Structure formats: C-alpha cells, structure tokens
Chain A
Amino acid sequence: MFENVAQFIVSFLPITGNIAEIVEYWIYNNLKILFILFLVVFIISYLRTYFPPEKIRDYLKGKNVVFGYLFAIGLGLISPFCTCSTIPLFLGLVSAGVPFGIIITFLFVSPLINFAAIAVLLSTLGVKITLAYALGGVIVAILGSVILVKLKMERYLISFNFSESNKKDEEEKKLTRRERLKETYQGGVEIVKQVFPYVLFGVTVGAVIHGLVPEDIISNYLSGRFSVPGAVIIGVPVYTDIMGVIPIAESLIAKGLPTGTAVAFMMAVATLSLPQFILLKKAMQKKLLFYYGAILSLGIIVLGFLLNFLF
C-alpha cells in the first residue's frame, strides 16, 4: 500500500532514474515506519495507563522470582523510549526492596528491546532477524542479571531514602475510559514527537546508502571477522533511537552487511550511550556500572558473532 503511495507521489515529481528511486524508497520507508510507530506507540501507551509506576512497584514487591523475571522482561518491552523515565522507575523499585535480579533484568531489557522496534523489524527485515533480535536481547538480559546477582553486585546500588510522604495520595484512582484515552493520546503524541526526528534521519541515511553506496564497499570492508566488535564500538558514540537505526541497518543488510553485525550495531546504538550511563551513575556505583556496561557489550558482541555464524 505504502509502495503505491510512494510511487504515486514520485510520478508527479520531475525526477527520474536513481534519484527517483532513492526518493521513492525514502517516502515508502518513512510512511511505513511512522505508520507502525503510531500504531504500536498508541497501543503501548494505552496498556501503560493500566500500569502506573506505583502499581508496578507494589506488584513486584512480594512476587516469586520466576514470575518476577518474566514480569520484568514484559515491563522492559513496554517501557518508554527514554532513559529519563526508566531511571526513576528503577530507583523506585530499588527503594521498595524489589529483588535485585528482577530490577536489573528490567534495566537490561528496557533499552535492548521494545515492542515498537519488534514491529518495525518484522515489517522490514523479516521474521528470522526479528526473532534473533528479541530472543537474543532477552537471553543477554537474563544471563546478565544472573551474573550480576551471582557476583552479589547489589552491594553497589546507591542507597537512599525513598519518601513515604506521598504514599497516601497514591491510592489507586480508577480512570474512566475517557481519561485513559486522553492519557494515551498525550503520552503517544509525546513519544512519536520524540522519536520522529530519529526516524526521519535514519530513513534518510538508509535511502542514501540504498541508492548511492556500492555493494562491494560493504561486503569488502564491513563483513570481516572484526565487523561485530567494530559495529559495537561505532555504536557507542552514536546516540539515536533504535527506530532511527533500523532503516540504516535495513539498507546495510540489503547491501551485504552480515545480519549479526547489523543486529549488534542496532543494539549497541540503543543501549551503550553516554547520556544513559551518566544517568545510571547516579543510581549505582562505578563497579556495578562497569559490569553492567561490560556485560551488555560482551553480550551484544557474542550475539552478533552467533547470528553471523547461524545466518
């Protein structure tokens, strides 16, 4: 459907050949990704009205471990796109005495994978890569948190007093459907607004790669043995939303970039970012932060190698 729209628009423009193809690709991808983003973000925002942070905290307090882990993974999947909202929730969970393993699982999953990325990946890169991305992310998160628990890393969480003063007005207020929809709309619009520039940027870079970068450059230079750690290292200073990386990864894969390398790049960009770590440093001591970063990096690299080996 979006393909037809893109073709239709391009047919009115005074361009032909390669340029026309790039523009068509650009319009098509923008339409498709933004459509999916809208849809998923609004569904997630609606779901989130049922899970205010206070409720999540109280819910997780006395849960058994297996269930807690599963819940933490689910929570990470629907968690918002910005660390600004992950960290306060993380702090709230810490102060409520939720088991460390559960909290840290949430902290691993939250930047690694989310529903919107899964939906867009399904439509651009297919079932296999999407599954690899989602399962890989979950496995890295679970292994990571098991390792941190075994190392008794909870010692290095920063302790502080969480105010009880607001407890009383936190009694659950029942929202009407109308209020829920209003919250959904406000939250959804905010997220789309926030992510939109990254999508535009990513699609533009992707379209340029699609139309102008010769295939042999990528298959000659970016597919060697070091391409996976290389992709992770490049991903560290690149700070963008995962939605902005997917279109770039898509055109790189089409030009011969190995799947594992592309997945590793996507994950590194989304998780290993300086602003996120600066914020995390407020909540944990250096040692834990170092282990968290090291496990993420290593996990992503191993996953990348494994996928390159499998596909």
Chain B
Amino acid sequence: MKITIYGTDCCSKCDQVLEIVNELVEEYKIDAEVEKINDPIEAAQKGVMSLPALAVDGDIKIKGKAASKEEIKEILNV
C-alpha cells in the first residue's frame, strides 16, 4: 500500500504523523511505501483544507489533526 502524508516544511504536527507512520510500518512490518508531500497545492487538489493529512492509496483518511498512534493503527488495519 501507499501511505501519503501531506504537510509543509514548517509543520511539526505533520512530522509527528510521519514519525508515527514510520514507526508502525517498521513495528508491524507493513508492506508500504511512505511518502511525505510538502506542497499545500497538491494537498488542496486532493480536497484537503487543513494539515496534516494522511492518505492510504490515494484516499484521504485523516485531515487537520495530528492523529494519535491508536487512530493511525486503526486506519492501517494493524
């Protein structure tokens, strides 16, 4: 699967989400490609109006909040 995190360079919450995702991918050996996009235009094109946002295979799952590890775990089905 492909996990995309939308954020900006100056957004610590966004990095937090990226960190949690990376942790989970490693911990549960998830077969996933993780990318972070620091372009709000690209996020806007996906319909995201508040950052950070997280998408799995192109579907936006969370937007506008630094989700907790538990929440992200649920989204990734682990």
Contact = CB atoms under 8 A, between A and B. Distances in A.
A89 B64 CA distance: 10
A16 interface: no
Interface residues of B, number: 24
Nearest to B13: A190
B77 interface: no
Interface string B6-43: 01111111100000000000000000000000011101
Interface string A266-296: 0000000001000100110000000000000
Contacts of B64: 52-53, 85
Contacts of A194: 12
Contacts of B41: 91, 158, 160, 282-283
Interface stretch (A5-13, A112-120, A163-171, A225-233): A163-171
B49 interface: yes
A304 interface: no
Contact of A83 (B10, B14, B49, B50): B10
Contact of A92 (B10, B49, B60, B65): B49
A186 interface: yes
Contacts of B54: none
A164 B47 contact: yes
A167 B47 CA distance: 8
**At the interface, is chain B mostly helix, strand, loop or mixed?**
loop
**At the interface, is chain A mostly helix, strand, loop or mixed?**
helix
Interface residues of A, number: 33
Given A84-B7, A87-B8, A190-B66, A282 B39 contact: yes
B10 A162 contact: no
A46 to B, nearest CB: 15
A87 B41 CA distance: 9
Nearest to A93: B49
A138 B14 CA distance: 31
CB-based closest 8 A-B pairs: A166-B47, A53-B49, A92-B49, A84-B11, A91-B44, A163-B47, A84-B8, A87-B40
Interface of B: 7-14, 39-41, 43-51, 60, 64-66
